[in-house]
Amino acid sequence: MDVIEKYYDGFEGEPEITFCLVENNSVAQKIGVWDGYFNSIMRLIQPEKEGWTGLAYFYHLYIGWYEEDNWFIPDILEAYDQLANIDSNELVNREEKEVLILIVNMLKRAIEHNGKVYIVYD
């Protein structure tokens, strides 16, 4: 299993968000990030005409991974589209951009291999 924790290093004691890719009923990859990086990314997603949708809906309403352990993203394709369409030039630092790329690539891999992605909020 591939585990990436460098985007949480130095932030121990602060909230961590871990993205876990499940393929063939086992965890294939984990990405642990400081929630500050993830917050910067999520703030760049704009609501649709009907309001918040997809991953942004759960983020802005503080439901999903905030309440449940091992919360599976219900619509990986929509989450992928939301994150892949973010203009990374709007992110302030290199780490935020790298985190965005890692998450987008994980979601893309899940889509291509019929996998699932869950989030753990610690």
- For the segment 7-57, what is each residue's pLDDT rounded down to a tens digit? 999 999 999 999 999 999 999 999 999 999 999 999 999 999 999 999 999
CB-side neighbour CA atoms (13 Å) of 9: 6
Average pLDDT, the chain: 95
Chain centre to alpha carbon of residue 99: 8
Give the strands of the sheet with 71-72, arranged side by side: 2-7, 26-34, 16-23, 116-121, 71-72
| Residue range(s) defining the domain that contains residue 45 | 2-121
Query: What is d(CA 100, CA 79) in angstroms, rounded to the nearest whole number?
Result: 12
Residues with Cβ within 8 Å of residue 86, at least 6 apart in sequence:
41, 44, 45, 100
Q: Give the chain's count of helices (H) and strands (E).
A: 4, 5
Number of domains in the chain: 1
Of 59-63, 77-81, 117-121, the poorest mean pLDDT is in: 59-63
Which CATH number characterizes residue 98's domain? Answer: 3.40.1760
